[in-house]
Amino acid sequence: MMSWRGLIVVLGLAALAAPVLALPLAEGFEGAFPAAGWQTLATGDGNAIWTGTSLADPVWGLSARSQRDNTILSGNIRQWLITPVLYADSAHDELSFYLKTSSASVSPYDTVWVLLSTQSTAPSDFSTTLATLSPGNDFDTSFVRFSFSLRRYSGAPFYVAFVHAARNSSAGTILLDNVSGPLLILPPAPPSFPTPPDSSTQVSVTSTL
């Protein structure tokens, strides 16, 4: 039979292995880019990726910004901006964000996909489309707020990707800001042990008992 001391050790190790829920996602891209836990990548024919704006808007501050790839005359250009791992519960089951274009001259080849993956951050795992948004139709040069329910994904971790898709170098640039909603999941903190340990007691010789 396991002693109560052994049970405490087991429960303690289980707690260390469990994910730690942080505050709800609230990313305004005001610091270093990409923000902690976010990922950027390019697929298709281009190499351009999301970056941060260099000049702060007087109202919005800094934003995430897709880039125009002038090296691609035609093809499939995909710029991915992927969130950290997220978790939805009954109080945090909505994703909201703001989009706008950087210019009134909008290419008909621009599309913004909002995709979801319950597996990993590999592009092939983003099999769920939350939204397909078109600049010039769904948003323009002023920020427009979008929100989508994540209730059906409650109870399991997932990732969200913002993908700017274009077919040539005439595509405009997209600005993204104030992404909020579900909970951020932080990895468990590693266990800490006193060091250096005494060879027999495994307690630091300098510890105060």
pTM score, two decimals?
A: 0.78
Q: Which two tokens stand for residue 60?
A: 């919005």
Alpha carbon 180 to its chain's center? 10
Question: Is the peptide bond between 197 and the residue preceding it cis, with omega within 30 degrees of 0?
Answer: no
**Tens digits of per-residue pLDDT, 149-180?**
999 999 899 999 999 987 665 567 899 999 99
pLDDT at 21: 59
Q: Which two tokens stand for residue 51?
A: 């970056």
Question: Looking at the domain assignment, is residue 196 inside a domain?
Answer: no
pLDDT at 188: 60
- pLDDT < 70 positions in the chain: 1-21, 69-75, 104-108, 167-171, 187-209
Task: Give the total number of structural domains in the chain.
Answer: 1
Q: Strands 128-133 and 51-52: what pairing?
A: unpaired
Question: Looking at the domain assignment, is residue 13 inside a domain?
Answer: no
**Domain that includes residue 81, residue range:** 20-185
Give me the CATH number covering residue 39. Answer: 2.60.120.200
Q: What is the DSSP secondary-structure string of 44-95?
A: ET-----EE-SS-BTTTB--EE----TT-SSS-EEEEEEPPPEE-BTTB-EE
Question: Looking at the domain assignment, is residue 29 inside a domain?
Answer: yes
